[in-house]
Structure 1
Amino acid sequence: MKGFLEDANYSIGLLDEGATLADVIDNCIYEHTQTGKRAFYVGDLGKLVKKNTQWQNVMAPIKPFYPVKCNSTPGVLEILGTLGIGFACSNKSEMVLVQDLGISPENIIYTNPCKQASQIKYAAKTGINIMTCDSDIELKKIARSHPNAKLLLHIATEDITADEEMNMKFGTTLKNCRHLMECAKEFGIQIVGVKFHISSTCKDLQTYIHAISDARCVFDMAEEFGFKMNILDIGGGFTGSELQLEEVHHVIRPLLDVYFPEESGVNVIAEPGCYYVSSAFTLAVNIIAKKTECDKLLPSGVEQTRDDEPVFTYYINDGVYGSFASKLSEKLNPTPEVHKKYKEDEPLFTSSLWGPSCDELDQIVENCLLPELSVGDWLIFANMGSGTLGEQSTFNDYQRPLIYYMMSFSDWDEMQDAGITSDTLMKNFFFVPSCIQLGSEDRFSTAA
């Protein structure tokens, strides 16, 4: 493991057993209140270790390949790389990130369904051979730029209950697989396996039965063409819930034993993304502006009455052009938690939350119940580790949130006991006392 480039400066606070995530958030909010109210994340990297242990207990021997686009922050990639996880990359920047970790090309898959020729050439130059393909046009493009490529045919699933529109865009049919194999033979390109993806919003796990059965058909088809297939990629769609993981395993294990038994030599892999990182990150944002219903212009002849319950609109210092970008595709339903203490019997008011851009699309929460808040108060959003920490917009001079990494001593001990630490990772840790002194000099280093 080479570790990150020296300019990727970050540190991980190693917490004594007496310190908690809430203590870290309190400390960071105190310091930001003193120095400038900027949105920030706290990432508990120990949760990545726990999730990997859970995966090994339930899903082994299926090897995880983490989709870098879910969360490409250095602390996450460093920990996952140390755990021996593979990586699924969608562009050159992501490939460079994981290669700088010292990850071997055999543990990297290029998964973008619409690849740029220049990035295919980069993959060829750096020895990244495994990539996905779902059309003859994409196959011909790969053949021109990367003749040594090893393709996974991306097949469409019958997941009509979830992201139907997305499944219509990407993935090929069984009938077209034969055509793609004919093209591959013509261009001298290897086909080594099959990939499918089932959305985490899919409620019918029977979809896995159809998908794995279809994959077996493609493997049988490949034998006719003389292709030696040895990879089955069952994609992502893992929510992070242990129950969901066990339910998926309960469905797919008998099928894999029948269609792809161990003696077949087929390596089954998956692409769990939000499974690893979603619950590991908490976002803290600050209220920068506030409006009430009485601030708005009412229609002519309508008077505001004092008996009407006020409705509050709050503007925060992060939005859909930053950490809440997934709201634009309706994949994120954030739930705010008020940081300051308030009485249990304190009245709650209808409220909405908006980002700082003043754009009509920049709505974070359309309707929620909150106590009356003031400018300068803080809100906390849990489960913000997936799809929120990649490259972000510079719209309206947007300032990216800081990131504070932490890990408990018990999680650190678990990593050491499993022998999954490295010298480059160890140098990033520093001790945080159980009684965190607010405003002290012991601050977490950040990766902006």
Structure 2
Amino acid sequence: MAGYLSETDFVMVEEGFSTRDLLEELTMGASQATTGEATAFFVADLGAVVRKHFCFLKCLPRVRPFYAVKCNSSLGVLKVLAELGLGFSCANKIASVISSALDLYFPEGCGVDIFAKLGRYYVTSAFTLAVSIIAKKEVLLDQPGREEETGSAPKTIVYQLDEGIYGIFNSVLFDNTCPTPVLQKKPSTEQPLYSSSLWGPAADGCDCVAEGLWLPQLHVGDWLVFENMGAYTVGMGSLFRGIQTCRITYAMSRVAWKALREQPLPAEQDEDAEGMCKPLSCGWEITDTLCVGPVFTPASIM
């Protein structure tokens, strides 16, 4: 190993214990805290980053990958990518097409270096966000005739979160997404579902995170979990909390950690092979230059 990442940088997840279990422990601890207000936080599975890198090396061994730091500049991600030699992986459905095209148009020995510079692939699925409900209100819907049919006036429940579209949930604005929360406790089939919407802390009437949801009755202090939140979210804390950013708890399975430690180090290059190492072009914060090592795909982590 190059020595960028150590076991003190993350929580080691043992066999049979998932990062979701860790997230539940952390939310429970935050809810039981007697001082301070519980704020949103991330749980990041660094093992997911490791797995995706090895997958890339297997599918596109001729492509030299570079990671776009602006996608997610959290220290844990940068350290694990430094250990891996920095990288990006394409989706499996297009990897074979890319490889064939490279062999056809740029055969080995033609003098062309091939690079890939992306970021979402590495970090999107590795990060899970937990956000607590800070306020709620019920709003009656103006639907004539419905009250006579159901015996009660139709309503929708508006939940307010401490993060909104001007912070972590900026993908609603820029990617036109509708984040769907995962409830920590699965509701029973007997629990009624209500028309619900999620809003951020802004008072401008535009800070809508998601609407058209059907959720059981939730309460202030309950936690909502959002998966696949690793890209362009870290460092985007709510503008209403100033420059404060969300806490990140890193985790990695013992299997992934073993595979990371056992990967071969990049071979030392002589002066004549100086071109084999390229400086990172997107603002690397840990090391000046990185080389991509030999293809290594541990069967235990694929």
The aligned counterpart of 2:165 is 320
Within 5 A, what are the aligned runs for 1:86-235?
none
**Which residue does the alignment assign to 1:242?**
none
Judged with a 3 Å threshold, the aligned counterparts in structure 2 of structure 1 residues 42 and 396 are, in CA distance, closer, same or farther, namely closer
How far off is 1:392 after superposition?
Answer: 4.2
Check if 1:265 corresponds to 2:111: yes
Shift of 1:13: 0.5
Alignment match, 2:42: 41
Distance, in Å, in 2 between the alignment partners of 1:355 and 1:393 is: 9
- The residue type paired with residue 23 of structure 2 is I
TM-score normalized by the length of structure 1: 0.53
The answer to whether the 8 Å contact 2:44/2:249 transfers is yes
TM-score by length of 2: 0.77
Distance in structure 2 (CA, Å) of the matches to 1:371 and 1:39: 21
The answer as to whether partners of 2:165 and 2:172 remain within 8 angstroms in 1 is yes
Q: 1:64 offset after TM fit, Å?
A: 1.2
4+ long deviations beyond 6 Å: 301-305
1:5-84 paired onto structure 2 within 5 Å: 11-35=9-33, 36-84=37-85
Corresponding position of 2:210 = 365
SS in 2 for 1:340: coil
Q: What aligned pairs does 1:282-293 form with structure 2 within 5 A after superposition? A: 282-293=128-139
Give the drift of 1:22.
2.1
What secondary structure sits across from 2:152 in the alignment? coil
CA distance in structure 2 between the partners assigned to 1:380 and 1:420 by the alignment: 37
CA 1:37 to 1:395, structure 2 compared with 1: closer, same or farther past 3 Å?
A: closer
2:166 aligns to what SS in structure 1?
coil
- SS in structure 2 opposite 1:264? coil
| Rounded Cα–Cα distance in structure 2 between residues aligned with 1:65 and 1:357 | 37
Q: Deviations over 1:261-280 (max 9, x none)?
A: 11211111112311110000
Comparing both structures, which one devotes a greater share of its residues to helix? Answer: 1
Query: In structure 2, how many angstroms separate the alpha carbons of the residues matched to 1:347 and 1:281?
Result: 30
Cα shift at 1:43: 0.2
Answer with 395-404 or 382-391: which moved more.
Answer: 395-404
Distance 2:132 2:244 in 1: 13
Q: 1:419 to 1:359 in 2, by over 3 A?
A: farther
Counterpart in the other structure of 1:355: 200
Q: Is the 8 A contact 2:45 2:126 kept in 1?
A: yes
Q: CA deviation at 1:364?
A: 0.7
- TM-fit CA distance, 1:331: 4.5
Report the Cα distance in structure 1 between the residues aligned to 2:188 and 2:154, rounded to whole angstroms: 19
CA offset at residue 253 of structure 1? 2.4
Structure-2 change in CA distance of 1:420 and 1:365 (3 Å): farther
Aligned runs of 1:324-403 on 2, under 5 Å?
A: 324-392=169-237, 394-395=239-240, 397=242, 399-403=244-248
Instruction: Quote the residue 1:440 is aligned against.
Output: none
Shift of residue 398, structure 1, vs aligned partner: 7.0
Deviations 1:225-263 (A, max 9, x none): xxxxxxxxxxx895xxxxxx2221232223222221112
- Residue pair 2:128, 2:228 contacting (<8 A) in 1 also: yes
Q: Of 125, 131, 134, which residue of structure 2 is paired with 1:279?
A: 125
Deviation sequence 1:47-81 (CA, Å, 0-9, x none)? 11100011011111111111111110000001001
Using the alignment, how far apart are the partners of 2:212 and 2:192 within structure 1? 16
How much is the aligned-residue C-alpha RMSD, in angstroms? Answer: 2.9
* C-alpha displacement of 1:302: 10
Gaps of 5+ in 1: 5-9, 87-235, 239-244, 426-448
Alpha-carbon distance between aligned partners in 1 of 2:245 and 2:219, rounded to the nearest angstrom: 23
Aligned pair in 2 of structure 1 residues 339, 393: CA closer, same or farther (>3 Å)?
closer
- Please, which runs of 5 or more residues in structure 2 have no aligned partner? 267-285, 287-302
* Mapped partners of 1:40, 1:325: distance in 2: 16
Q: CA deviation at 1:333?
A: 3.1
| C-alpha distance in 1 between matches for 2:242 and 2:85 | 38
Q: CA contact under 8 A between 1:309 and 1:349: conserved in structure 2?
A: no
CA distance in 2, matches of 1:69, 1:328: 18
Relative to 1, partners in 2 of residues 1:316 and 1:47: Cα closer, same or farther, differing over 3 Å?
Answer: same
Q: Is the 8 A contact 2:124 2:230 kept in 1?
A: yes
**Contact 1:322/1:398 (CA < 8 Å) preserved in 2?**
no
Matched residues, percent identical?
Answer: 38
> 1: distance between equivalents of 2:146 and 2:124?
46
**1:357 and 1:396 in contact (8 A); partners too:** no
| In structure 2, distance between residues paired with 1:419 and 1:258 | 30
Q: What is the one-letter code of the residue matched to 2:14?
A: D
Give the number of equivalent residue pairs: 259
CA distance, structure 1, for counterparts of residue 76 and residue 27 of structure 2: 21
**Structure 1 residue 326, shift from structure 2 partner:** 1.9
Alignment of 1:412 with 2:257, yes or no, is yes
User: Alpha carbons of 1:261 and 1:404: their partners in 2 closer, same or farther (altered >3 Å)?
Assistant: same
Paired AA for residue 56 in structure 1: L
User: What is the distance in 2 between the residues matched to 1:334 and 1:376?
Assistant: 19
Q: Distance in 2 between matches of 1:83 and 1:237?
A: 12
